[in-house]
């Protein structure tokens, strides 16, 4: 990419990033249209390619930017000393909420990118794909599992939470009126229910 992209006004940068996030999240790399991205961003196609050279260049930048931005929020929002599983989950979710206030489609983009199947997009982002999953694994591995009932499989519990979050997010986006705060609040209700079911107290 052309580093002069960062010389643009922040509002214009964010318009372009948000447009790419939305179109890639909704369509995947293979079906994403640069025509749709420039329409969404309100810019010319020439300007897009001036900064990103190609659709692949834009996808690579969008993925890298998303991972870096998400990591910054997680590192500042999740306590390194916390060991309660559901408190850690909530701190992660709150950090994600802060991200979605600026970039509503970023979490959906990262979620959908896990199922990307176009080889050139996978190769281009291969070295970054383990960063967020690795951080989540390392962070949640320090959770105190003695708080759970004996029969609870924590890895399966994490999968339930991930599936619920993904499904709920997809449902909220489907009605074209996504509001991060409402999604956060509703997901919190599911987590409270899971906590009652899985914890000893």
Digit-coded pLDDT (tens) for 77-113: 999 999 999 999 999 999 999 999 999 999 999 999 9
pLDDT of 13 over the 80 cut = yes
Summary mean pLDDT of the chain: 94
pLDDT at site 67? 98
| Stated pTM of the model | 0.92
The band of 178, judged by pLDDT with boundaries at 50, 70 and 90, is confident
Which of the 8 DSSP states describes residue 73?
Answer: H
pLDDT at site 141? 94
pLDDT of 1 over the 80 cut = no
User: How far is residue 139 CA from its own chain's centroid?
Assistant: 17
Alpha-carbon gap, residue 166 to 143, rounded angstroms: 22
pLDDT of 36 over the 90 cut = yes
- Domain definitions of the chain by residue range: 7-198
pLDDT of 201 over the 90 cut = no
Residue 199 pairs with which residues in a beta bridge?
Answer: 148
Residue 148 pairs with which residues in a beta bridge?
Answer: 199
More confident residue, 176 or 30: 30
pLDDT of 175 over the 90 cut = no
pLDDT at site 177? 74
pLDDT of 124 over the 80 cut = yes
C-alpha dihedral sign at 170, 171, 175, 180: negative
pLDDT of 172 over the 90 cut = no
pLDDT of 14 over the 80 cut = yes
pLDDT of 2 over the 90 cut = no
> Among 1.10.275.10, 1.10.240.10, 1.10.357.10, 1.10.1660.10, what is the CATH number of 7-198?
1.10.357.10
Please enumerate in sequence order all residues whose Cβ is within 8 A of that of 73, keeping only pairs 6 or more positions apart, or say none: 95, 96, 98, 99
The band of 173, judged by pLDDT with boundaries at 50, 70 and 90, is confident
pLDDT at site 121? 96
Please enumerate in sequence order all residues whose Cβ is within 8 A of that of 81, keeping only pairs 6 or more positions apart, or say none: none
Percentage of the residues of the chain whose pLDDT score is greater than 90: 91
């Amino acid at each position: 990419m052309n580093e002069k992209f960062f010389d643009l006004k922040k509002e214009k940068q964010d318009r372009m990033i948000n447009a790419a996030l939305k179109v890639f999240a909704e369509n995947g790399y293979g079906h994403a249209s640069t025509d749709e991205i420039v329409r969404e961003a309100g810019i010319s196609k020439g300007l897009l390619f001036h900064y990103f050279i190609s659709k692949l260049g834009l996808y690579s930048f969008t993925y890298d930017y998303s991972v870096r931005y998400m990591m910054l929020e997680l590192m500042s929002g999740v306590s390194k000393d916390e060991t309660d599983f559901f408190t850690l989950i909530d701190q992660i979710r709150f950090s994600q909420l802060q991200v979605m206030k600026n970039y509503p489609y970023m979490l959906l983009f990262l979620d959908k990118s896990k199922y990307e199947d176009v080889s050139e997009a996978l190769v281009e982002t291969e070295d970054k794909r383990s960063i967020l999953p690795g951080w989540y694994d390392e962070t949640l591995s320090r959770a105190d599992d003695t708080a759970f009932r004996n029969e609870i499989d924590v890895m399966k519990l994490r999968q339930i939470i991930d599936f619920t979050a993904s499904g709920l997010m997809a449902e909220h986006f489907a009605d074209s009126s996504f509001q991060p705060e409402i999604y956060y609040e509703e997901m919190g209700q599911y987590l409270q229910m899971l906590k009652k079911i899985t914890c000893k107290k």
